[in-house]
């Protein structure tokens, strides 16, 4: 079951499932009619979402080079020849068929909607996220998940912790659109680390109910992530103690969390 269209100012967002567990998102500017697909996991799923909403694709915002985020580009380009593909500069060659390249601090427009590009190396070295401040929306790719974070395929734990530390300083009412529906599994892991966290317990119950109904759990709120996501709390003594690293640096605590999740 896909999520209903949500509204924030001049922006509308539509969240849907793609491939097996990828989260697809369309961002629509009601002022100009411009519409962006955040990543392109699967052309058929994006095209079905566009048909459902009645929107016309003008942009594709790519967060990183992995196949399950870019394989839909050719099919979408075939259907919308003038679509503009924006992607991180350092991963341009791996992605291919890119019109606009971006680096940390750049601004991207989708119609009248304005996003800041934030570099978040760790999952891949060139990974970026798109923060639409006015619309209170963060398109986080595979850096920050609901109750989790991405695996570290490139870079190191210190890189990833620094990226996550930067994101957690965004406003509490920021809605986080991540790249995968991993939330139930992440909740189960989080409870092994922080079992006495009442906010986490309540959130886990809500997530389980949503998934039983076939509903998606995305987006999540930054305030909820800061309270319940252990990967954003490497400097929390409770989390450090839980992994036997009391007094250690936050990046070390984070590294241990990530390693445990890899084998969960």
pLDDT tens sequence across 217-230? 999 999 999 999 99
Mean pLDDT of 113-138: 98
pLDDT tens sequence across 14-34? 999 999 999 999 999 999 999
Q: Cα dihedral sign for 80, 180, 31, 7?
A: positive
- Active-site entry in 64, 106, 127, 159: 64
Domain ranges of the chain: 6-262
- Active-site entry in 68, 106, 159, 194: 68
- Active-site entry in 29, 123, 127, 194: 123
Active site residue 66: yes
Percent of the chain exceeding pLDDT 70 equals: 99
pLDDT band per the 50, 70, 90 thresholds, residue 2: low
Active site residue 123: yes
The token pair that represents 228 in the structure block: 């319940």
To which H or E segment does residue 237 belong?
A: helix 237-242
pLDDT tens sequence across 229-238? 999 999 999 9
- Active-site entry in 42, 127, 159, 180: 180
Active site residue 28: no
Distance of CA 183 to the CA centre of its chain: 12
Cβ atoms of 130 and 63 within 8 Å: the answer is yes
The token pair that represents 57 in the structure block: 């694709």
Active site residue 64: yes
pLDDT of res. 157: 96
For all residues of the chain together, what is the average pLDDT?
97
- Active-site entry in 66, 106, 159, 194: 66
Instruction: Note the CATH architecture for domain 6-262.
Output: 4-Layer Sandwich (3.60)
Mean pLDDT of 120-149: 98
Cβ atoms of 83 and 60 within 8 Å: the answer is yes
Higher pLDDT, 1 or 79: 79
Mean pLDDT of 94-119: 98
| Residue 198: how many other CB atoms lie within 10 Å | 9
Cβ-Cβ contacts under 8 Å for 105 (sequence gap 6 or more): 116, 117
Peptide bond into 241 cis (omega under 30): no
The pairing of strands 35-38 and 59-61 is parallel
The token pair that represents 137 in the structure block: 């929306």
pLDDT band per the 50, 70, 90 thresholds, residue 1: low
Active site residue 172: no
Mean pLDDT of 234-262: 97
pLDDT of res. 3: 78
Asked whether residue 134 carries a pLDDT value surpassing 90, the answer given is: yes
To which H or E segment does residue 60 belong?
A: strand 59-61
């Amino acid at each position: 079951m896909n999520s209903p269209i949500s509204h924030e100012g001049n922006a509308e967002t539509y969240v849907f499932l793609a491939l097996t567990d990828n989260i697809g998102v369309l961002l629509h500017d009601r002022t100009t009619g411009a519409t962006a697909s955040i990543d392109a996991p699967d052309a058929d799923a994006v095209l079905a979402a566009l048909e459902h909403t009645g929107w016309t694709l003008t942009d594709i915002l790519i967060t990183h080079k992995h196949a399950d985020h870019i394989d839909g580009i050719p099919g979408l380009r075939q259907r919308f020849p003038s679509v503009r593909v924006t992607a991180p500069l350092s991963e341009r060659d791996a992605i291919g068929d890119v019109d606009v390249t971006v680096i940390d601090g750049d601004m991207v427009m989708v119609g009248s909607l304005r996003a800041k590009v934030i570099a978040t190396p760790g999952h891949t070295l060139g990974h970026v996220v798109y923060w639409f401040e006015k619309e209170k929306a963060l398109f986080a790719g595979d850096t920050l998940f609901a109750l989790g974070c991405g695996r570290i395929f490139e870079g190191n734990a210190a890189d990833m912790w620094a990226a996550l530390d930067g994101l957690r300083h965004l406003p509490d009412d920021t809605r986080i659109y991540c790249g995968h529906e991993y939330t139930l599994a992440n909740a189960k892991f989080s409870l092994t680390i922080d079992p006495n966290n009442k906010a986490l317990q309540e959130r886990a119950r809500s997530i389980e109910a949503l998934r039983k109904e076939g509903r998606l759990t995305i987006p999540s709120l930054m305030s909820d992530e800061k309270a319940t996501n252990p990967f954003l709390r490497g400097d929390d003594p409770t989390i450090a103690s839980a992994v036997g690293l009391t007094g250690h640096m936050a990046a070390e605590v984070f590294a241990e969390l990530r390693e445990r999740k890899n084998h969960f």
